[in-house]
Amino acid sequence: MSVAMAPLQVEQARQLLKALADPLRLRVIEALGDGERCVCDLTTDLGLSQSKLSFHLKVLKQAGLLADRQEGRWIYYRLRPEALGALQGWIADLAGHCSTPAQPCP
């Protein structure tokens, strides 16, 4: 069950977009698109070292895009659909206003 997030402020949107802008982090997001994954599987599937993957997972988690849980010695990561939905809403709001004509100059 997901909890709806409040509409994004510009700074929140910037943090989400910055986290998504890195090609490796985007690969992590895509890998989690099919559901929760163990960090051991992500390391293997993405061909990344544990330390490099951990850094990118930390950035994505701090941005609010990922949630995690620990089971034994393994950590499982999943996307936070409410964060993606909030970003989608922010972008949709931009798209809805981007064709508004400018006010005439005095």
Q: Is residue 99 one of the residues assigned to a domain?
A: no
What does pTM read for this prediction? 0.83
Range of the domain at 38: 10-90
Q: 35: domain CATH number?
A: 1.10.10.10
Spatial separation of the C-alpha atoms in residues 26 and 19, rounded to whole Å = 8
Asked if 36 contacts 73 with a C-beta cutoff of 8 angstroms, the reply is no
Predicted confidence (pLDDT) per residue in 41-98, tens digit: 999 999 999 999 999 999 999 999 999 999 999 999 999 999 999 999 999 988 888 8
Any bridge partners for residue 86, and if so which? none
Q: 21 in helix, strand or coil? A: helix
Assigned domain for 102 exists: no
